[in-house]
Amino acid sequence: MNKSYCVQCKKDVSEDIKQCECGCRTFAFGSIKVSEEGKLTCACGNEIFRRTCHMDYADKATSSYQCTACGAGIGTEYYRDAEDMMYWGD
């Protein structure tokens, strides 16, 4: 089952959120879960991923990863605002 989590507070969030209540703008999604230790891991329990792609956009950066144990796909999105150093919008 695919889930989306805030990377900072580990709260389960909707897929269309751009900023969490805690202020974080980075989200992880896919076949992931929060472990008993509070870490984001693959649903299989593995904590090691291989980056397969990274894309920069004007208002966000996305990366995709593959679990090294089961091959499941995981993604991250970082949403930028106009004050972010990497933002290249209007």
Whether 67 is covered by a domain: the verdict is yes
Which pTM was predicted? Answer: 0.85
Say if 53 falls within a structural domain.
Answer: yes
Domain tally, the chain: 1
Tell me the two tokens of residue 13: 């969030």
Q: Judge whether 61 lies within some domain.
A: yes
**Could you report the per-residue pLDDT of 29-80, keeping only the tens digit for each?**
999 999 999 999 999 999 999 999 999 888 889 999 999 999 999 999 999 8
d(CA 84, CA 9): 21
| Rounded distance between C-alpha atoms, residue 13 and residue 2, angstroms | 12
The answer to the question of residue 31 being in a domain is yes
Confirm whether 86 is domain-assigned.
no
Task: Let me know if residue 85 belongs to a domain.
Answer: no
Domain that holds residue 73: 3-79
Residue 89 maps to a domain: no
Can you tell me the mean pLDDT for 4-8? 95
Residue 84 maps to a domain: no
